[in-house]
């Protein structure tokens, strides 16, 4: 993808704070209409990356294009064309929800401001509380108001830093659904989160950072790259006696037998499973059910963190 074909394109993006390197040689592209996840531990450079891409701080080296504008050369245009939700959104507690949005809307020179304020307050269920000071709002309500503020000027690119952090399950569910709705409307979203289940559900692709880029792909592809595919055959008897039979099949990569389960690692299980089933049944196995062993995104993340730490000490 070129800079013009991508919503975001970063090339060797680097940021140092004195002797400390927060982000190192970061290169990636984000497609238009994609939800792109940034995962990593505290201090991995996620928030610094968002701050650079939203033209809030300058990179030490490298560059990026956001919405077709190059950082460092068209920062004002970038700021006008992105929306940013920070992890700790700064709202004016003494002002009402309506006044907060109106204030930011005037800064962005939003046309038809009153209609836009009403639209997003209604969309996020805050219209009935529009006259109340933000100091009376719960954390979830403040988070929704901050999202409304990020959307007020109709940006096509959104940076969301921990949008569901600290929210109760019902409110987090609402915010996740709203993110999905925004994607369906064509918004490009960069999502920073520590919630791996959330990232798995929402993100089209995921970049795992630890100052530098450790991995970038779809959640499913990351699982398959690290772990391959494995199928679990649940039998009505001890599985160990069938271990040699399955292991000798030419397409099987590895077999593990535990009690009544055979875990078979292989490629293309959709194509090969029937042959394994016929082989087991022919040998007298009582197959109760068959299912694919699925690794979580947490498994992938922890493995990448472990591998990344090892690589640093090589």
Cα(308)–Cα(25) distance, integer angstroms = 15
Separation CA 191–CA 147 (nearest Å): 13
Please provide the size of the chain in residues: 314
**Domain boundary residue among 194, 217, 240?**
217
User: For residue 314, what pLDDT is reported?
Assistant: 32
Q: How many structural domains does the chain have?
A: 2
Q: Report the Cα 236 to chain-centroid distance in Å.
A: 40
Would you say residue 263 lies in a domain?
yes
And the tokens for 116?
A: 């836009």
Look at residue 311 in the predicted model and tell me its pLDDT: 37
Strands 69-70 and 61-66 turn out to be antiparallel
Residues 169 and 257 in one domain: no
What pLDDT score does 72 carry? Answer: 95
How high is the pLDDT of residue 203? 96
According to DSSP, residue 241 is labeled G
Establish if 273 belongs to a structural domain.
yes
What was the pLDDT predicted at 171?
82
Specify whether 127 is located in the same domain as 165: yes
Report pLDDT for 89. Answer: 77
Residue 299 within any structural domain of the chain: no
Rounded to the nearest 5°, which phi and psi values hold at 255? -130, 135
- Greatest CA span in the chain, whole angstroms? 76
| Spatial separation of the C-alpha atoms in residues 24 and 36, rounded to whole Å | 19
76 in Cβ contact with 56 (< 8 Å): no
pLDDT 10s digit of each residue in the chain, 314 long? Answer: 445 579 999 999 999 999 999 999 999 999 999 999 999 999 999 999 999 999 999 999 999 999 999 999 999 999 999 999 987 778 999 999 999 999 999 998 998 999 999 999 998 889 999 999 999 998 888 988 999 999 999 899 999 999 988 788 888 888 899 899 999 999 999 999 888 999 999 999 999 999 999 999 999 899 888 888 899 999 999 999 999 999 999 999 999 999 999 999 998 899 999 999 999 999 999 999 999 888 889 889 998 988 775 334 33
Task: For residues 244 and 179, state if they share a domain.
Answer: no
Q: Is residue 208 part of a domain?
A: yes
Asked if residue 236 lies in contact with residue 210, where contact means CB atoms within 8 angstroms, the answer is: no
Cα–Cα dist 217/208, whole Å: 9
Q: Is residue 304 part of a domain?
A: no
Task: Output the DSSP codes for 69-115.
Answer: EETTTSHHHHHHHEEEE-SS----TTSBHHHHHHHHHHHTT-TTHHH
Domain that holds residue 118: 6-217
Statement to judge: residues 81 and 189 lie in one domain: yes
Q: How far is CA 143 from the centre of its chain?
A: 18
- Report the C-alpha gap between 242 and 103 in whole angstroms: 71
> How many other CB atoms are there within 10 angstroms of residue 248's CB atom?
10
Based on the fold, state whether residues 158 and 36 are members of the same structural domain: yes
C-alpha of 165 from chain center: 14
**Sequence-distant (≥ 6) Cβ neighbours of residue 89 within 8 angstroms:** 142, 143, 145, 146, 149
């Amino acid at each position: 993808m070129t800079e013009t074909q991508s919503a975001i394109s970063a090339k060797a993006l680097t940021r140092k704070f004195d002797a400390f390197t927060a982000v190192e040689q970061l290169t990636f592209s984000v497609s238009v209409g994609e939800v792109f996840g940034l995962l990593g531990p505290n201090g991995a450079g996620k928030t610094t990356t968002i701050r650079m891409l939203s033209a809030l701080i300058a990179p030490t080296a490298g560059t990026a294009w956001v919405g077709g504008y190059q950082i460092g050369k068209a920062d004002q245009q970038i700021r006008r064309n992105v929306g940013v939700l920070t992890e700790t959104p700064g709202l004016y507690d003494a002002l009402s929800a309506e006044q907060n949005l109106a204030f930011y809307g005037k800064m962005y020179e939003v046309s038809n401001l009153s209609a836009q304020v009403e639209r997003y307050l209604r969309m996020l269920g805050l219209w009935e509380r529009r006259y109340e000071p933000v100091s009376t709002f719960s954390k979830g309500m403040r988070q929704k108001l901050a999202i409304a503020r990020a959307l007020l000027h109709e940006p096509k690119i959104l940076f969301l830093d921990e949008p569901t952090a600290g929210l109760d399950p019902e409110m987090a569910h609402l915010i996740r659904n709203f993110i999905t709705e925004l994607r369906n409307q064509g918004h490009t979203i960069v999502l920073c989160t520590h919630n791996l289940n959330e990232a798995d559900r929402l993100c089209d692709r995921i970049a795992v950072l630890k100052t530098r880029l450790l991995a970038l792909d779809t959640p499913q592809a990351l699982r398959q790259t690290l772990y391959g595919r494995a199928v679990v055959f649940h039998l009505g008897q001890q599985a160990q006696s069938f271990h040699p039979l399955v292991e000798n099949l030419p397409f099987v990569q590895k077999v593990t037998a535990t009690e009544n389960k055979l875990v078979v690692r292989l490629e293309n299980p959709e194509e090969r499973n029937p042959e394994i089933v016929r082989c087991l049944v022919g040998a007298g196995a009582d197959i109760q059910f068959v299912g694919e062993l699925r690794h979580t995104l947490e498994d992938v993340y922890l493995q990448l963190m472990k591998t990344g730490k090892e690589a640093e000490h090589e």
